[in-house]
Structure 1
Amino acid sequence: NSILGFQGNRDLALNMINWLSSDEDLISIRPKDPADNRITLSRAQMQGLFYTSVILMPLAIVLAGVSVWWRRR
């Protein structure tokens, strides 16, 4: 019973029972319960993420474009 929760063991056990009872309509792969994967960030981390994604990355792309333009001129 302790191994029942690992991987697909629960589905395998339920499908075996359904097959043995000749109720093959119930044999299926059951959907997983959605996991709660929230990310908790501090205020400083949120600001760092904001500045990196909204200011730093676009600025790096613009500077790379200007650099390529300057060399080809």
Structure 2
Amino acid sequence: MQCYYSPIIHNGQLQADEVGELFASAELAIQYGARVARDIANDPEHDRAAGTVIIVVDASGAEITRHRVERRAEAGDEGEAQ
């Protein structure tokens, strides 16, 4: 298990993830980051104009991926936040 962090950029400001999460692989951490992005996108109070981005980094601080929070999914919508 390795620790991965998911800091968030929202309105141009970095919100650090000081705790992180343990995952067996980088792929699982990437999936988690995508789920966080979807959850934020589905929040009716989320400001779509905020330019929110979930960043997934490993314990050494190397960026693995980014997920942009782009829109709120509608009922029955198969799309995902990226």
Q: TM-score range by the shorter chain?
A: under 0.3
**Based on CA coordinates, which of the two structures has the bigger radius of gyration?**
1
TM-score, normalising length: structure 2: 0.25
TM-score, normalising length: structure 1: 0.28
Bigger fraction of residues in strand = 2
More relative contact order, 1 or 2 (CA 8 Å, 6+ apart): 2
